[in-house]
Homo-oligomer: A and B are copies of this chain.
Amino acid sequence: MKSNTISLEHGAGGEVMQALIGEIILKNFHNKSAGSIGLESLDDGSTIRLEGLNSEYELVLTTDSHVITPAFFPNTNIGRLAVAGTINDLTVMGAKPLALTCAVVVPEGFPLTEFEEIIKTMDETAAEAGVPIITGDTKTVEKTALDSIILNTAGLGITDSPVRDSGLQVGDKILVTGTIGDHGISLMAHREGFDFDTDLVSDSAPLWRLIEPLLKLRTPDGKPVITAMKDPTRGGLANALNEMAKKSGTGILIEEDWIPFKPAVSAACEMLGLDPLEVANEGKAVIGVRSGFEEEVLSILRQHPYGRDAAVIGEVTPDNKGEVILRNRFGGMRYVDIPAGDPIPRVC
């Protein structure tokens, strides 16, 4: 925290944001836990133990504000991003989504037709996961005060076995549910007017139906097959894997050739000097799976349209604790660093 004012990196999902959260937010919030997973875990949501509820169950609460610009982008809009994002935060915590909120801040002059389109998209996206949107808030501001609509969605879920991002164990396989970098690259291309001559679109999607069957899988001795989960949004796969390795106290070794990329994403990243591992995804999960169960998990994932390109990309190692190593096809290895921030701002 070198400067004394907020910079864009403070909200970009990487190392600078972690510092802000640690040095200002966690330090000053004294009462920040209501269950087994609290704010200090910095997971995708936190849990609440409820008196009167069977003690196997915990509620999960999560929130996200979305400041993407423009609000409309190839194939969809901020409404899908917000609803899917919150459903996914609950999903990667292992929680069945129960209800969502919808809080809108909108500048005067915003077209009512676009506003209605966003609301319709939220409804459709929530319907995919069968989640009701039960409460909301609407605020307006002067057009000079804000450049585009901001959506906040909070979500409540319930689980009998929360999945943490810190649960990786040595030997686990690391899976992703599909191609990496689609959202960030498609958004940037759209915004900057690049024409990659492809139909690359955002991957924004609610993953509950895809992930739900995995949560029930148990090993013969009754342990959950899924050991850890995270959605690689801001900061991309690089940030998600680093958080998982650090919190789990293990190493992660990733095989570069195994990571699924759309050709347009690889080409764009090469041309623009971007690392696709640092680019935001909005419809993907990174999953830790007990060794020996990866084929079963893959075959379940691939039955769902959102999991068609699911792949094993690496495994959890006892060495290089807290670090992520990428091995290329020639056996060359490099550390995958925590990004300072997202290379493409305001994509979510």
Instruction: Verify B113–A63 contact, CB threshold 8 A.
Output: no
A57, B64: Cβ atoms closer than 8 Å: no
Q: Judging by beta carbons under 8 Å apart, are A7 and B65 in contact?
A: no
Chain B residue at minimum C-beta to C-beta distance from A24 = B116
Q: Mark A156-196, 1 if CB is under 8 A from B, else 0.
A: 10100000000000000000000000000000000000000
One digit per residue, 1 when the CB lies within 8 angstroms of any chain B CB and 0 when it does not, for chain A 19-34 equals 0110011001111111
Interface residues on A, range: 35 or more
Interface pair B48/A138, CB less than 8 Å apart: no
Copies in the complex: 2
CB distance from A316 to the nearest CB of B (A): 26
Chain B nearest CB: distance from A114 CB in Å?
A: 9
**B residues within 8 A CB of A313?**
none
A346 to B338, CA, bound (A): 38
**A137 part of interface (Cβ distance < 8 Å):** yes
For the complex of A and B, 3 pairs with smallest distance between CB atoms: A11-B140, A154-B154, A63-B101
Residue A99, interface by CB 8 Å: yes
Known: A4-B112, A25-B119, A52-B54. A32 touches B148 (CB 8 A): no
Would you call A38 an interface residue if the criterion is a C-beta within 8 Å of the partner chain's C-beta atoms? yes
* Residue pair B11, A106 in contact (C-beta under 8 Å): yes
**Residue A152 lies at the interface, judged by CB distance under 8 Å to chain B:** yes
Cβ of A39: which chain B residues have Cβ within 8 Å of it?
A: 132-136
